[in-house]
Amino acid sequence: MTFHLTEAEIKARLAATRHQSFHEKPFPQFANRRPRAAAVLLPLAWDGSEWHLLFTRRTEILEHHKGQVSFPGGATDPQDSSPEETALREAEEEIGLRRSDVRILGRLGEMLTVTNFIITPIVGVFPWPYAFTVHTIEVSRVFTLPLQWLSDRQNWQEFVRQETKLSVITYFPFDGELLWGATARITVEFIRALGLLPA
């Protein structure tokens, strides 16, 4: 197992991944409602010694998911021609990560969330260090976590919520941040796609 994958190796491993959707059946409360399309960007940066994955923490004034850790992203707009365009547009709007500075490496399978969004995770590389321009209404902090730490099975736990019968992934705190829910699930699926976790 190596954590020093090249961009070409990451791209090849993502391309070889079957784009399996997760939670394919709608949740009961949305059985008769079509899910809304969305996309998130998984921004990867090489700091000179190892890969880091970028996250944001949402502000406390938002109506939904306040204070939670997430990837840059959001709902698809009518003018967006692809999930990649949605993810890049949202990253630029939220944290000032210019789309011209991101090299897309691939995508993961769609994920249906408990809020009835169907999310396409897009993986891209951006240069490090980087001067972000944070949209303070939505984002309170931008930070990165080492891919090696995220890949260590001792740093997260998985359990089934009795009320929903759904599997939930929760990472242990790192630098004061708590990674859980859909963002944690997408993170684990990403590192699994890279071959850094058992299938």
The whole-number average pLDDT for the span 163-186 is 89
CATH architecture label of 7-146: Alpha-Beta Complex (3.90)
Rounded mean pLDDT of the chain? 88
Burial 110-144 (b: 16+ CB within 10 A, else e): bbbbeeebbbbbbbbbbeeeeeeeebeebbbebeb
pLDDT of residue 25: 53
Q: How far apart are the first and last CA of the chain?
A: 13
Q: Is the pLDDT of residue 11 over 60?
A: yes
DSSP alpha helices (H): ranges in the chain? 7-16, 83-95, 147-151, 181-193
Residue 14 one-letter amino acid: L
- What is the tens place of the pLDDT at every residue in 145-158? 999 999 999 999 99
pTM of the model: 0.91
